[in-house]
Structure 1
Amino acid sequence: MRITHVETHRVRIPAPSPAFAWRAGLEGSPGDDEGAVLHLRTDHGVEGVALLKRPGSAPQLEHAVDRLFRDELVGQDPLDREHLWHRVWEIDRIHELSLPLLGIVDVALWDLAARSANLPVWRLLGGARRKIPAYASTTTFASIEEYLDVADQCLELGYTALKLHAWGDARRDARLCEALRSHVGDDVPLMYDGSAGFDLPDAIHIGRVMSANGYLWFEEPMREFSIHAYRQLQRVVDVPLLVAETSDGAHMNTADFIAAGTATFGVRTDTVLKGGITGSMRIAHLADAFRLRVEVHGSDAPNRHLCMAIPNTTYYESLVTNAAVERERHVDAEGFVHAPESVGIGLPADLEYPAELAQFVGA
């Protein structure tokens, strides 16, 4: 079997409604934008597709395919995923691809392989479970009172754990962490994501508050450029740290965070930011060797497959963007996400999918 065609197709990504915010300094929810589907065809009639939906991603993918990927892929055996994964990283050495572009070819190749085997991707990866609990991962709301109301709605809808994204003000965010613990009691697992908003002194302040309030993990408090800063934070706070979400280098860079002792809860993995499914699974196995957790970032279709294939992950991340909470369609009334049943990853290969696309992107 050989790859014969490498194509891109632009697709509309509708703006979230209502719009939502992140912490101070970060752009909020995007408006209407265009993503792109990478479509691989073979001489055996088997196809593979992957969606890149980050804002501005359509022209990036088109450029990468026309300049780099098509020449590299046409004529190759699509089942040689290891070889092709390394080839993409060789291309990156000169062209400095964005993190999402480093994984898009690999996701399409896994989709193709699973279609060839007539299996969902998570089954092709080996399969670790058939359902996983989801936590409610907030966007940023206006007040502590609004957060507490959102928390009540999430728990009533079946979510059993909550993660905060807040304002990026260490003192104000710390008060929110205290208020939420007092409000929901000691039995609800709570997490907090700093979205890389702090320097070391502020990360220490809020980390100590989370330590005192029994938070399950403290995620990405600082930009992930200084492992030394993370080592210093780990030495002075008791709350477990979840690290290496946006650092470049997939498992290679993640290994340095682990070796430095900073991953006291675990590390992040994600098909978009960690070199596709192959890079994500490398990170999962690396973390498992050190008896650490690996938490899957984000709530799109490829990451649902990861959750079902990785034994040392705890939750599926389900984003809550509206103060009038609606449970994500993939989460059941008891707070579980179930393994996908469709072949491949789930995006139709015929590219006639306005309704199906919404399902694929987690809408």
Structure 2
Amino acid sequence: MKISEVVAVPVSVPLTTPYHISRGIMTHFPSVIVRITTDDGLTGFGESVPLSVVGDVVPLAERINTTVRDVLMGRDPFDIEAHVAAILSALDHDLDTLGGVDIALWDLAGKALNTPVFNLMGGRCNDPILVDYTMGAQSPAQMADRAAEICATGYRGLVVKVTGDVAQDVERVRAVKERVAADITVRVDCNGGYSRDDARRFLEAVKPLGLEFVEQPVVGDDLAGLRLCREIGVPISVDESLNTLGEALALISEQACDVFNIKIPKVGGLTLAKKIAAVGEAAGMPIVVGGRTTLELSRHASRHFAASTPGTRGRAHEGPGPASQALSDDVVAVRSTLESVGAQGSTISVETAAGLGATVIWDKVEHFRLS
């Protein structure tokens, strides 16, 4: 069995409601759908996602359709480790581009062996998977109302996005905490939007509220700033600081965080995500699985990772669940929903069909294609 075709299509799926975070406002989800086909007709699918909320996915797709295609054509799809190394070398360590290709290779391997991807990664140790819901920044009153609506569906955990305005952000978090029941876990995601001083002011103000953790209060490369934030006594999670194995080691050695948030497309796919998780587990680091701004295809990959990774047990994750943002549609046949997660006690189960268990509708890929 050899790889006979590599195709990447840039797409943009509109949101029904704009999504506000500290780095900007989203009205669409830009993404790249990757399709890898073998000479015996098997097909694997993956999704690559740009770094920025307004990232241009067209050049990303072009890199897959040229450079990555040249690396993979005629090769054995099972040689995933070799393919990852070769692609990273050819693309100067471009993890965003690699992510969807790696996911597609795992999907293809599972289909070839007629087994779900989690079985190729050690089997299930965390299924069903706890899921939480991420709220884009709005007024404190709007966020409190939305929190109540989400918890009424059955969700047991919330993530509050903030904007970088300390006073308003404190009110947002306080309004949510005061509206929901005491047993609802609440996290805050700052997306690196504060200076060191503002981050510490924010953390001091929210410390009495009993948050599970605050994510990325300062920019990704400021490990000293993260360490200063930890001194406040509120647990600190990292996302923008955690992209590579080297960064995982640095975060641990610098004692810069309390929780790893691993996002599958951002770290280069499932292969490298598993390695980062192993580094975290060796240091006793709790792991949550983030979702980035992804369509359902990447969320399938996140489920297989969360289900097969011991460090994810006992914690809620946004990545394996349905997109918290108001997507108008998707490119797969079946989407997970807030209602289905709530009805299952704020959990979702990993698919047991071969590969990722996702059915991609190619007509929808073409419908949302960017020129």
Q: CA RMSD in A?
A: 2.6
Q: 1:81 to 1:136 in 2, by over 3 A?
A: same
Asked if the contact 2:21–2:163 (Cα under 8 Å) also holds between the matched residues in 1, the reply is yes
Q: 2:160 aligns with which of 135, 149, 164?
A: 164
**Bigger shift: 289-298 or 301-310?**
301-310
Deviation of 1:53 (Å): 5.2
Deviation of 1:87 (Å): 1.4
Gaps of 5+ in 2: 327-335
Please give the secondary structure, in 1, of the residue aligned with 2:132. strand
Q: 1:226 aligns with which of 199, 222, 226?
A: 222
For 1:2 and 1:177, how far apart are their aligned partners in 2?
A: 52
In structure 1, what residue type is equivalent to 2:281? D
Q: Which residue of 1 aligns with 2:332?
A: none
Q: Which structure 2 residues correspond to residues 61-80 of structure 1 after superposition, within 5 A?
A: 61-80=60-79
Does 1:190 pair with 2:186? yes
Q: Which residue of 2 aligns with 1:213?
A: 209
Q: Percent identity?
A: 22
**Bigger shift: 62-71 or 269-278?**
62-71
Asked if the contact 1:271–1:280 (Cα under 8 Å) also holds between the matched residues in 2, the reply is yes
TM-score (norm 1): 0.86
In structure 1, what residue type is equivalent to 2:8? T
Please give the secondary structure, in 1, of the residue aligned with 2:164. coil
Please give the secondary structure, in 1, of the residue aligned with 2:60. helix
TM-score (norm 2): 0.84
Q: 1:289 to 1:148 in 2, by over 3 A?
A: same
Q: Which residue of 2 aligns with 1:20?
A: 19
Please give the secondary structure, in 2, of the residue aligned with 1:16. strand
Does 1:132 pair with 2:129? yes
Deviation of 1:106 (Å): 1.0
Deviation of 1:72 (Å): 1.0
Q: 1:316 to 1:217 in 2, by over 3 A?
A: same
Q: What are the superposed Cα offsets for residues 220-260 of structure 1, whole Å, 9 maximum, x if unpaired?
A: 111111212112222x21111111x2346522212211111
In structure 2, what residue type is equivalent to 1:316? H
Q: Which residue of 1 aligns with 2:91?
A: 92
How many residues matched? 343
In structure 2, what residue type is equivalent to 1:22? I
Q: What are the superposed Cα offsets for residues 94-142 of structure 1, whole Å, 9 maximum, x if unpaired?
A: xx63x4213222111111111111122223222222211211210111x
Gaps of 5+ in 1: 359-363
Q: What are the superposed Cα offsets for residues 47-82 of structure 1, whole Å, 9 maximum, x if unpaired?
A: 222123556654223321343111111122211111
For 1:332 and 1:233, how far apart are their aligned partners in 2?
A: 33
Does 1:354 pair with 2:364? yes
Does 1:153 pair with 2:149? yes
For 2:172 and 2:57, how far apart are their aligned partners in 1?
A: 38
For 2:110 and 2:346, how far apart are their aligned partners in 1?
A: 28
For 1:278 and 1:312, how far apart are their aligned partners in 2?
A: 16
For 1:296 and 1:271, how far apart are their aligned partners in 2?
A: 8
Please give the secondary structure, in 1, of the residue aligned with 2:288. strand
Q: 2:250 aligns with which of 253, 256, 260?
A: 256
For 2:33 and 2:304, how far apart are their aligned partners in 1?
A: 18
Q: Which residue of 2 aligns with 1:2?
A: 2
For 1:226 and 1:198, how far apart are their aligned partners in 2?
A: 11
Asked if the contact 1:177–1:209 (Cα under 8 Å) also holds between the matched residues in 2, the reply is no
Asked if the contact 2:48–2:98 (Cα under 8 Å) also holds between the matched residues in 1, the reply is no
For 1:248 and 1:167, how far apart are their aligned partners in 2?
A: 21
Q: 1:57 to 1:347 in 2, by over 3 A?
A: farther
Q: 1:89 to 1:339 in 2, by over 3 A?
A: same
**Bigger shift: 47-56 or 212-221?**
47-56
Please give the secondary structure, in 2, of the residue aligned with 1:345. coil
